Amino acid sequence: MLHPVGQATDELAMICASMVFLYVVLEADYLEAHRPWLPAMQMAYAFGFAVAYFTSPFFFPFFVAAYGCTVLLIIFQAYRVYKLYASEDTEAAKWQRLLFWIAATFYPAAFLFLWVPENALCPIYPELFQALHLHAMFHIATTISPYCYVVFMTYHRCTVLKRDAEHRRGIGLAYVHVAAAA
């Protein structure tokens, strides 16, 4: 079990990151900020969330539900972007589709098949679940997912801004190479 401060730094960072990812997908198609009020609203939400996190002894189920809803909203909004590449037959579109599906499936799958079983069954079978290291695998999958999301959205943003960009791989990781401005 993590120390409460360690747990808070993990979970509150997840809330802040989800707010950034939500902002990115909501604003990605616009050259200028389309919702200038959104960052202030998201900061107020994150601040209120942090206050409630530290003051309510029963906040964890709300945290899981709120975070899960935010992740699903991000996936839903990212699907709107995905559809722009769904029927294209270019190398970039193939990359975009792959990145989207990894980002959209790894996070929910890790939650359902790694985090939930560990939290539900670890108290009953502690030795087994400590040996399985499901929480470590959960963190690996939930690191791959947002990484793919960032690459997916970076390429899309470059297309919106009409910047020359291409998908590349370096040391096994996909990334977006953006050509120098002329």
Helices 4-27, 60-85: crossing angle, 10 deg rounding: 30
pTM of the model: 0.89
pLDDT digits (tens, 9 = 90+) for 109-138: 999 999 899 988 988 998 998 899 998 999
| Exposed e or buried b per residue across 46-61, where buried means at least 16 C-beta atoms within 10 angstroms of its C-beta | beebeeebeeeeeeee
- Kindly state the greatest CA–CA separation across the chain: 62
pLDDT digits (tens, 9 = 90+) for 154-167: 999 999 999 999 99
Separation between Cα atoms, residue 166 and residue 176, nearest integer Å:
6
